[in-house]
Amino acid sequence: MRSGSTPWLRAALLLVLAVLLAAVAAAEGSKSGSGDGKAHNYEEALRKSLLYFEAQRSGRLPHGQRVPWRDHSGLTDGLEQGVDLVGGYYDAGDHVKFGLPMAFTVTMLSWSMLEYGDDVAAAGELAHALEAIKWGTDYFIKAHTQPDELWAEVGDGDTDHYCWQRPEDMTTSRQAYKVDRDHPGSDVAGETAAAMAAASMVFRKSNPHYAHLLLHHAQQLFEFADGYRGQYDSSIAEVKSYYASVSGYKDELLWAALWLHRATGKAAYLDYVVDNAHDFGGTGWAITEFSWDVKYAGVQILAARLLLRGEHTAEQKSTLERYQAKAEHYVCACLGRNAQAGGEDANVERSPGGMLYIRQWNNMQYVTNAAFLLSTYADYLAEAGVGTVTCAGGGTAGAGEVAALARAQTDYVLGTNPRGVSYLVGYGPKYPARVHHRAASIVPYKHSKQFIGCSQGFDHWFGRRSSNPNVLVGAIVGGPDRRDRFRDNRDNYMQTEACTYNTAPMVGMFAKLNRMAREEREEREQRAATARSGTAAEV
């Protein structure tokens, strides 16, 4: 600007520049924003997601318990069998302790920490994250009573579902069920081995003795799972109606071996993954979902990580490349980039609002797990300096697109969706108020210790139209249908029940996105400051 310009003109131009900078900042902020255009507060989401696990605790609650409407429960678990099974997590809105989904929850919490632990610590949530993992692993140590014996369930789903009670009032069966040599359960033993191996790495610095103990249990459990093969739902009939092992146990054996390889560095575990790649379906199954049951996509991405990092022998390379091809089939399926020659199931369906859709019952578990897998794979590609993924049919997709889809799915959960509803309970102005959850839907035990029986809970609390008296902060509910429709009713358990394995992968996602959002803010502020200083110099 020429020095002869008038003061009012300089002021006007500075005002225009300020407006333009504000508009640019608002536009960039809305890229990761909520339905009303405001940027999401990922740090708040992270804090609340970890709080949820305290609401799901079974056993004697510690003095530092932050969820005030919960109290001690399940204090006689295992007593009839002569074993201490007090502790662990209730998986959802009822009070059975199911070993398979509980172990998967701990594996995903641990994986979140291994990838994004520094981001969790930067947000001040490291201690809470470690507590969430340890509450599960402490229980697994108790449940693994012999090298070839693992208690895999406490409580009976059928009798539990006849009652609508607070966990503190439980009158239902607390029968415990185990797998052993005569009644094998390679899937539940394999997943528990994976959880303890992954957790051992999380605790390696802060608690090396505990980490060593976890790894010892993990190795024993893997030997048991591999040495005595069989599906746990064939040994424990009571689990079949709730957490049947539809995918079988071979994915869990590969999954456990990969986690043990990462935890120990022992070549034998990677040899196992390579030698069994074909027979166990690791390089055969082209999968479009990842869950507590179906681990193949996670297996394939972990194997691809080893390839990208060069952590393999020359002989193992071709097998790991086949694992990576299947990993990229999953990634491209989420992106919708696989050629339809792969069949009508080559890609994942999307709702009109952009949500990945697998099936109507608790679809949000597939969304959150996909977000995490996509995010970690994008990070592995970036670390290796690889810019694209190869899709079935010969197409490609940019690694940046993979990361962007992970963020978009996370933002959908937080309210960037057609309804403007946050499916993370307690986050944002609008979230489910009638979550299908016994403890949350009944007056807190600490406020009213009057016993509430099975039918009384149904009569007085389940059928109420009002919001739950307790907010299940941090829970991620089952979520909307394929048309983004959601009915916030307590009896609509397909959509309003929350599960621990829905929230677990989001701990890592929220931590990573919180760091990214902070970096983006700092970058915008730096650009704005540079622009202002440049304008001032011209003036």
pLDDT, one tens digit per residue, over 214-232 is: 999 999 999 999 999 999 9
Cβ–Cβ < 8 Å for 490, 441? yes
Reported as a single tens digit per residue, the pLDDT across 81-119 is 999 999 999 999 999 999 999 999 999 999 999 999 999
Q: Which of 453, 325, 400, 502 is nearest to 31 (CA)?
A: 400
Position 446 scores a pLDDT of 81
Q: 3-state class of 211 per DSSP?
A: helix
CB under 8 Å to 381, separation ≥6 — which residues? 308, 387, 389, 399, 402
Cβ–Cβ < 8 Å for 153, 177? yes
Q: What is the mean pLDDT of residues 460-465?
A: 91
- Going along the chain from its start, the domains and CATH numbers come out as 42-525 (1.50.10.10)
Per-residue pLDDT band at 14 (split at 50, 70, 90): very low
Residue 22 has pLDDT above 50, yes or no: no
Q: What is the number of helices (H) and of strands (E) in the chain? A: 19, 7
Q: Which of 151, 123, 93, 199 is nearest to 438 (CA)?
A: 93
Residue 530, H or E segment? helix 500-538
Alpha-carbon gap, residue 187 to 293, rounded angstroms: 9
Position 37 scores a pLDDT of 53
Q: What is the mean pLDDT of residues 47-68?
A: 97
For the record, the structure tokens of 247 come out as 């995918």
Q: What is the mean pLDDT of residues 481-491?
A: 97
Q: What is the mean pLDDT of residues 324-345?
A: 87
**Mean pLDDT over each residue of the chain, to the nearest integer:** 91
Q: What is the mean pLDDT of residues 369-398?
A: 95
Q: 3-state class of 153 per DSSP?
A: strand
Per-residue pLDDT band at 1 (split at 50, 70, 90): very low
Residue of 209, 436, 437, 447 with catalytic role: 436
Residue 24 has pLDDT above 70, yes or no: no
221 burial type by CB count under 10 A (0-12 exposed, 13-18 middle, 19+ buried): buried
How are beta strands 149-154 and 176-180 bridged, if at all? antiparallel
Is 312 catalytic? The answer is no
Position 459 scores a pLDDT of 87
Cβ–Cβ < 8 Å for 378, 402? yes
Alpha-carbon gap, residue 44 to 57, rounded angstroms: 21
Weakest-pLDDT range from 10-24, 371-385, 427-441, 466-480? 10-24
Name the residue with tokens 């940027």.
39
Alpha-carbon gap, residue 422 to 428, rounded angstroms: 6
Q: What is the mean pLDDT of residues 319-339?
A: 96
Cβ–Cβ < 8 Å for 140, 196? yes
Work out the angle between the directed axes of helices 364-384 and 99-122 (0-180°, nearest 10). Answer: 50
From residue 320, give the alpha-carbon distance in Å to each of 34, 237, 311, 323: 39, 36, 10, 5
Give the amino acid at 296. Y
- End-to-end alpha carbon distance in the chain: 6
Per-residue pLDDT band at 434 (split at 50, 70, 90): very high
Per-residue pLDDT band at 527 (split at 50, 70, 90): confident
Name the residue with tokens 């185990």.
178
Cβ–Cβ < 8 Å for 55, 70? yes
Cβ–Cβ < 8 Å for 189, 221? yes
Give the amino acid at 469. P
Cβ–Cβ < 8 Å for 393, 341? yes
Per-residue pLDDT band at 136 (split at 50, 70, 90): very high
Per-residue pLDDT band at 12 (split at 50, 70, 90): very low
Q: Which of 172, 171, 157, 169 is nearest to 443 (CA)?
A: 169
Per-residue pLDDT band at 447 (split at 50, 70, 90): confident
Percent of the chain with pLDDT over 70: 91
For the chain, helix, strand, coil in percent to 5 are 55, 5, 40
Q: Which of 232, 336, 250 is nearest to 299 (CA)?
A: 250
Q: Specify the DSSP class assigned to residue 312.
A: S
Alpha-carbon gap, residue 258 to 320, rounded angstroms: 12
Position 538 scores a pLDDT of 67
For the record, the structure tokens of 42 come out as 């990922």
